[in-house]
Chain A
Amino acid sequence: MRVALFAPCFIDQLAPRAAIAALRVLERLGVEVTVAEQAACCGQPLTNAGFVADGDAVLARLAEALPSDGAVVVLSGSCALHLRAHGAHAGARGARLAGRTVEFCAFLHDTVGRERLRALGAEWRVRAAVHVGCHALRGLGLGVPSERRLDAIGAPDVVRAVLAEVRGLSLVTLARPDECCGFGGSFSVDEPHVSVRMGSDRLRDMRGAGAQAIITTDLSCGLHLQGVGAAAGEALPVWHVAEVLAGMADGSITATGAVA
């Protein structure tokens, strides 16, 4: 099996460890991975700021840079949703890309399968809070949001299913399991006070539940949560699911710098 791994712009620059981890995990699982060196950004920062034509132009460039067939595994739920939802606005190549886009955890869950994941032998003895980004949760359907609990009966919870294959990991139960962390892209700087308040509320819930670390699908949320925590002097280390599976989160629970 051959896939292209897309590490979004902010992961490439600010959290390269997550991309390295994803590459290692996929290779250990026997997946042939290509990394398109000319791939840059999905365009979401521009589109969500209202600059749709610019965002679509950036997306079109990405579609050119990525291989023209095979699955594209994206290391961010939010970027994956953006490619799915807006690919069609970026030419025929963009439209095809939309259909081939899959978020990292969803790829592991749906295509690789839990048995092969178990064979990875990942282990991490820690109590962690899971933060599934809102776009991953509601947009990609990686789980069922708490406001639709009736539909959750029997529905797959992709991220928790993947993490269930990590030995020793226990996940805490949050009072508000899927409350938005307040990142929201440009929202984080356009509305900094509400954004920070949402982040600190989210962290308080996680700490109150006894979490020692945060595991997330979306390191954009993660960088925000880490920044809020660090400024308040009470950071929780934040790890991408890939880092946990790669064993790179092991034994590194410190109050600083975990994302990078």
Chain B
Amino acid sequence: MTPVPSSPATPVPAARPAGEEGRRAGRDRHLPLLDARGAVDHAGAAARFTAQGDRTTWHDGALWFVREKRDRAASAVEEWEALRALASAIKAHTLSRLDDYLVQFERAATARGITVHWARDAEEHNAIVHGILAASGARLVVKSKSMLTEECGLNPYLEGRGVEVVDTDLGERIVQLRGEPPSHIVMPAIHLTKAEIGETFHERLGTPAGEDDPDRLTLAARVHLRERFLSADAAITGVNFAIAETGGVVVCTNEGNADLGMALAPVHIACMGIEKLIPRAADLGVFLRLLARSATGQASTVYASHVHAPRHGQAMHVVLVDHGRSAQLGHRDFWQSLKCIRCAACINTCPVYRRSGGYSYGSTIPGPIGAVLNPGRDLRRYATLPFASTLCGSCSAVCPVQVDLDAQLLKWRAQVVQGGHVAAGKRWGMRALRTVLADAEWLQLAGRAARTALRLFPARVARRLAGGWGIARALPPAPARSFRDWYRQRRAGGA
């Protein structure tokens, strides 16, 4: 339903102005609660999501469909693995001298008449964007999909200052009309059914009650959005790639909404995380071949628009945003996560995401990449996310820039423990487990006790005692002897 990404990002809704309390409450009602330790309660939110069995079935199926499309698209490119390796190497190289490339980009962009701004964090980013809009007296802004502006909490910031922001990506407009955040970075409304969208459009756009035909709903959105495009004072877009050599940016969409916005409005502001850079125009093809195939299984996005200068009479700005990226870049174990091009392939393939829903991650970017990026921003708040994975490794296998996501998830788990973000009970439990697992005699003793208990307790009682295991799982049958017991007896001539 929606296009391919636009912008960079990492998580954490920025502080929102007081005037936005009502809206924030509306958006936050979809986000998971924090647990007793102040961390996102992913397991709790996932439990609520899976309790709606049909929705889980359908959500899982919708994303699996996208994953299979990706598989077919990727397997149609003979040199797919070579492309992945090349893209990964280009990103690694760029990140290794990001400071140089950023300055080169600024110089080239400035020479083309683009004004370049530098933002240390979300607050600076929002203030810069608002400053540009205020200076031109803009009251209505059309915005194409940008996970960076979502990460920075730009919409509520601007709305609190009297600027109306209309998200023009269809999926984003749907969730905006519902007062919800996106649940996915490429398909923001993937958690909604046609009927739910029909209901929202009936309430907000006046479509007939009960209308859930996708074509008619899309047409209604088109008419509604067209009015905003024609009267917008400014257009904000994300950026998929910024080219240091040329000073231009590339924006990929399926709906052409970014193009229409920036073609019509007198002011264009492109917002990007600093990791969106690639060195040369010649590198772009490598990424364009990977991006759409990885994201939606398309050979190419419908639009891949190159913006290298303002139109005649238009003002064009690029805002370069750090917001925690430099810190992540400086982290020996996690800098590779900045290679991410926000295709969401890891999210679509993740068997946990498909069954827990985007909101369970409590951040703009969900799924495996979210669970790797977010802890770098706030380890305490996102301490649970690295554990929201079976470490099946499918994420790493699909990543078009070869981020070793499952390995990074494991490394974050160690950081969470070292940082003291696990419950004392777990700490003690692990200490006891170490004693048992390190020593064969302890293991035999503990195992014998456990197997005896399994035989003695009625199955229902045993399941209750088994905590999380027992919620909907029988306990294993308890053999009379361990393998070592059997082996000893055999050696003694018994078995």
Contacts and interface: CB of A to CB of B under 8 A. Distances in A.
Interface stretch (B155-163, B220-228, B258-266, B391-399): B391-399
A195 B430 CA distance: 21
Interface in A25-43: 35, 37-41, 43
B393 A134 contact: yes
Contacts, number: 227
B476 A184 contact: no
Contacts of A39: 440
Interface stretch (A10-18, A105-113, A120-128, A244-252): A10-18
B488 A37 contact: yes
Contact of B356 (A12, A35, A45, A194): A194
Contact of A182 (B390, B431, B484): B390
Contacts of B56: 197
Given A12-B443, A193-B47, A197-B50, A20 B486 contact: yes
Contacts of A87: none
B414 interface: yes
Nearest to A181: B390
A85 to B, nearest CB: 9
Interface stretch (A48-56, A156-164, A166-174, A208-216): A48-56
B189 interface: no
A146 B278 CA distance: 30
B424 interface: no
A13 B472 contact: no
Interface in A107-146: 134-135, 138-139, 145-146
Interface string A226-238: 1110111001000
Contact of A147 (B387, B398, B481, B485): B398
From A148, A191, A223, name the one whose CB has the most chain B CB atoms within 10 angstroms.
A191
A180 B397 contact: no
B437 A20 contact: no
Interface in B303-357: 349, 351-352, 355-356
Contacts of A14: 451, 476, 478-479
Given A48-B410, A184-B391, A193-B50, A145 B64 contact: no
Contacts of A61: 438-439
Contact of B390 (A65, A147, A187, A223): A187
B74 interface: yes
Contacts of B451: 13-14
Interface residues of A, number: 79
Nearest to A175: B64
A155 to B, nearest CB: 12
A50 B495 CA distance: 40
Interface in B456-484: 463, 467-469, 471-479, 481-484
Contact of B391 (A58, A134, A231, A260): A134
Interface string A174-188: 001001101111111
A52 to B, nearest CB: 5
Contacts of A260: 476-479
Contact of B80 (A35, A150, A179): A150
Contacts of B468: 188-192, 195
A180 B414 contact: no
A149 B479 contact: no
Contacts of A147: 67, 70-71, 74, 349, 394, 397-398
B348 to A, nearest CB: 10
A69 interface: no
A45 B443 CA distance: 14
A15 B290 CA distance: 45
Contacts of A41: 437-438, 443
A150 B434 contact: no
A46 interface: yes
B394 A138 contact: yes
Interface string B425-449: 0100011011001111011000100
A16 B486 contact: yes
B78 interface: yes
A67 interface: no
Contacts of B390: 134, 180, 182-185, 187, 195, 198
Contacts of A151: 81
A199 B50 CA distance: 13
A13 B448 CA distance: 8
A182 B56 CA distance: 15
A37 to B, nearest CB: 6
Contact of A149 (B75, B388, B440, B481): B75
Nearest to B81: A151
The 6 closest A-B pairs by CB, nearest first: A184-B390, A189-B468, A227-B473, A50-B413, A230-B474, A50-B417
26 contacts: A7-B483, A12-B483, A14-B476, A16-B482, A37-B488, A45-B437, A46-B434, A49-B417, A50-B387, A50-B415, A54-B433, A61-B439, A134-B390, A138-B392, A147-B397, A150-B80, A185-B391, A187-B387, A188-B473, A190-B468, A191-B352, A191-B468, A193-B471, A194-B388, A232-B472, A260-B477
Interface of B: 42-43, 46-47, 50-51, 56, 60, 64, 67, 70-71, 74-75, 77-78, 80-81, 349, 351-352, 355-356, 386-394, 396-398, 410, 413-418, 422, 426, 430-431, 433-434, 437-440, 442-443, 447, 450-451, 463, 467-469, 471-479, 481-488
Given A134-B394, A150-B78, A190-B387, 15 more contacts: A12-B482, A16-B485, A39-B440, A40-B442, A57-B438, A147-B74, A150-B81, A186-B387, A198-B355, A226-B474, A227-B475, A231-B474, A235-B474, A259-B476, A260-B478
